[in-house]
Amino acid sequence: MNLDSNTLRQVFDALDNNKRGYITVEQFTSALEKFYTSVAHESNDDEHHAKLARMQSMDVNNIVNALDPEKDGIISFEDFESAFQNFFNCENREELKGKTMTVNLHGRRVSITPDDFVMHQAEYDPDLKTEDSGFLEPGVGEFTPTRPSTLLTRTSVPSYHENAGSPFSGSRSDLMMDDPDSNLEQLKNQMRQMEAKMDSMTSQAAAASNADGLVGRLREENARLSASVVVLEERIKEIEARHQRDLESERSHLDSLMVRSKRTYEAEIENLRARCQKLEVDLSDAIIHLGKTRVELDSARVEGKRTAEALLDAQDRINSLTEQLNSRSNAESWELQKAIADRDNALNALKEVNSVVGNGPRVSIGMDTVIRLEEMQQIIHSLKEDNKRLTKKVQDAQEESWFKNLRNGQKLLFDKDSTLDAEMDNLTKEEVVDLLTQEKHANNELRNYLSTLLEKIVLKHPDLLESKIGRSCASSPPLSHPPPPSPFPSCFYLHN
């Protein structure tokens, strides 16, 4: 069987698929299980399957103990090589002579040579006698004699007789052929010789082991530590690689987050910039519109001031006309009262004249009375004409003042380049409300003033209104349709 270092190296490298320089016990046992499984699948013989199952079920602890004596779970190449080349790395068959092995056979310790041993698998299946089969099968921990009858029969291998170092050389055949009872003494002598030789060999082995055991243990410890260092280095490399992968993934994740955040930030900046530009445009438009509104408001204030001045002028004229009317009315009333008194006096005088005429001459007295009556009638007629003329003047002045104020108000309302709707469109809601409030306040003041003025006229000079209303009602025909609505209060107008 070829068990040189190259062959064992090939087997060891085949098991060391990770190229770590060592193999584990689990790898070795799994390789044996795969081997027996593949052999069982290739064979169709049930008996052969049963034999393989028995061989697979054998205890592999002995092989593991030989390969891993330190029980650390790691098998180096030196342990692998020394275990398989212990008894089978000889150059030729002649060197096998003299190599003995002590086994316990039927309660006795017997020294035998490797020719007395074959592998269990070789006895049952010649096809399994390969370089990878006999030494890797599970359940074969110790070399046990497969045919122990060779020690007890005449068909022993001749090499046992040729081996001078064997305790059974020269007399083994006699022991097998003669009666064991008659040769008991000779067997005892040979056993004593064998025990003495075993003691000497044990002492020599102990001395050699004491010298070489420390070096071997140190070498094995060094190999085991080297293997552990290699394992730790592999683990460190794996951890570093995993840490590097995690670091790269985290870096890529952070880069993506930074890119996304930068893109979002730029988008927000653009949106804010666009909003700022829009607000600036709106602000400029609002400033322009505010300037226009201020100009219009100033013009409206000027117009309002002008209207107020015109209203004050009209009020002054109305006051002056009212004073003239009052003075004229007082004068006319005084003249009327004087005329009434004169008339009463004339009537009294006429009565007296009539009474005197009835008793005396009537011609002279009648002429005087007629003359006086005619004069009195002329005076009364002239006073009435003056009263009518003054009343007409007051009425014309009032109408002229009212129509003038109406024209001024219409000019303020309608004599503008832009319409009211256009002006309202150019104003904001607050400005429109402010202007409406101001207009309402001005209208209320004007209405209060006119109401107060009319109340004063009604209270102090009701005869003017009555005479005016009476003449208008008597002279004007009835209206076929109501007058159109006016923007001024109803109390502002008087029917003509």
Provide the number of structural domains found in the chain. 2
Mean pLDDT of the region 198-212: 71
Q: Could you tell me if residue 376 is inside a domain?
A: yes
Domain termination residue (choose one: 143, 167, 200): 143
Q: Is residue 186 part of a domain?
A: no
Per the model's pLDDT, the better-predicted residue between 54 and 259 turns out to be: 259
Angle, helices 184-359 vs 429-460, to 10°: value is 20
- Per the domain annotation, does 96 fall within a domain? yes
Q: How far is it, in rounded angstroms, from Cα 427 to Cα 435?
A: 10
Q: What is the pLDDT of residue 54?
A: 53
- Structural domain includes residue 190: no
Give the pLDDT confidence of 129-139 residue by residue, as tens digits: 444 444 344 44
Whether 258 is covered by a domain: the verdict is: no
More confident residue, 5 or 118: 5
Q: What is the mean pLDDT of residues 415-438?
A: 70
User: How far apart are alpha carbons 2 and 130 in whole angstroms?
Assistant: 9
Helix, strand or coil for residue 22?
strand
When pLDDT is cut at 50, 70 and 90, the band that residue 42 belongs to is: low
Q: How many Å apart are CA 266 and CA 272, to the nearest integer?
A: 10
- Domain-embedded: residue 29: yes
Q: What's residue 9's pLDDT?
A: 80
481 pLDDT more than 70: no
Is 115 among the domain residues?
A: yes
Report which of residues 322 and 121 the model is more confident about: 322
**Residue 24 pairs with which residues in a beta bridge?**
74
pTM of the model: 0.24
The SS3 of residue 300 is helix
What is the token pair recorded at 30?
Answer: 């799994």
Question: For residue 316, is pLDDT > 80?
Answer: yes
- For the segment 354-362, the average pLDDT, to the nearest whole number, is 59
Is the pLDDT at 368 greater than 50, yes or no? yes
Residue 295: is its pLDDT beyond 60?
A: yes
Tell me how far apart the alpha carbons of residues 64 and 132 are, in angstroms, rounded to a whole number.
16
Q: Which of 92, 121, 143 is the last residue of a domain?
A: 143
Q: Which residues contact 465 (CB under 8 A, 6 or more apart)?
A: 457, 458, 494
The answer to the question of residue 152 being in a domain is no
- Tell how strand 108-112 and strand 101-105 pair up: antiparallel
**Residue 234, amino acid:** E
Q: What pLDDT score was predicted for residue 209?
A: 66
259 versus 440: the higher-pLDDT residue is: 259
DSSP state of 482: P
Q: How sure is the predictor about 249, in pLDDT bands with cuts at 50, 70 and 90?
A: very high
262 confidence band (pLDDT: 50, 70, 90): very high
**pLDDT tens for each residue of 80-119:** 777 777 645 444 444 444 444 443 433 444 444 444 433 3
**In this model, does residue 78 exceed pLDDT 60?**
yes
**What are phi and psi for residue 296, nearest 5 degrees?**
-65, -40
What tokens appear for 186 in the block? 């000779």
- Residue-level pLDDT at 286: 86
Least confident of 165-179, 239-253, 362-376, 432-446: 165-179
CATH code of 22's domain: 1.10.238.10
Q: What is the domain extent for residue 393?
A: 295-477+485-492
Q: Residue 306 is encoded by which pair of tokens?
A: 């002008």
